Structure 1
Amino acid sequence: MSSPKYAPKSFAKVPADFGKRNEIPWNDADSLLDSDRLAASILQHRYAYKIRSRIAELGMSLATYSAQTAQTYDRNLKILGGNAVMRLDFVTEAERLLGHILNGGDGLAASSPGDHRTRQIPSGTPNVVRVVHGGSDCNAGIGHLG
């Protein structure tokens, strides 16, 4: 895998806080490209914080969680710390293993650990994608993180 052109934590005023505190201050973007990367970094930070918090809620260590994922401990540490760019499948894997990553009053579907079957979303809800997984239809919401 190639190296990212930026580290998401580089947009944080205190890079060491990336993924570790709920709210952190951010640097300003100097260009349109940096503006896009800043927005992506903020999203990654929010997911990283939710994933770290959920691991702690479940009484797990990052090493224990990593043993269940497709990534190594070191790779998870880089992603959650903002040293590497997070992919969407990282988030969906965390949702499957930990649950409650994609919910929280933000209109996204909730699930329990291991529940990758049906996530109910009210009909007529905007920004909904239908996914087929293992022969079952699943609803996966797309929206704003809370």
Structure 2
Amino acid sequence: MSTFFQKKENRKWTWRGPNGITKNEIDFVLTNISDTVKDVTIPNRVDVGSDHRMIRCRIGLNLKVERNKLVRSIRHNPCKLREKSEEYNLEVQNRYSQLAEIEKTVEDMNDNFIRIITEASLSIAGTTRKKTHSRLSEETKDLEEKKEYDN
């Protein structure tokens, strides 16, 4: 991204050679999502005590979209899961016993354990629909359905 934005020469170089004359752009900002980067510049007045200069990158994120990516998940049906708790416990134990036979890293075991719990709860209890809030009342919806039925 450092080379993507048009800047004056004194705002491009990031490294000064030992002779004080040679200047090169050798430090970069890398990203795989280029539309989040709004600007990249080199602040002139910041001294970091090195032969390199600081790079400043301004980014813009749509936090609502990013938050939804993190929060969005499958909604389990907790009522059915409570009713079938013995069946659920047995399912998790069976799946976990198969996992325990394979030695892995802590991260792998954590990922597999989360997967086991999710898959077991889905297979035993199923999912629930997310409740949506409508601006129309139930009475209005009923009238609308009746109107469609009459036509």
Q: What TM-score, normalized by structure 1, do the two folds share?
A: 0.24
Q: Rg bigger for which structure?
A: 2
Q: What TM-score, normalized by structure 2, do the two folds share?
A: 0.24
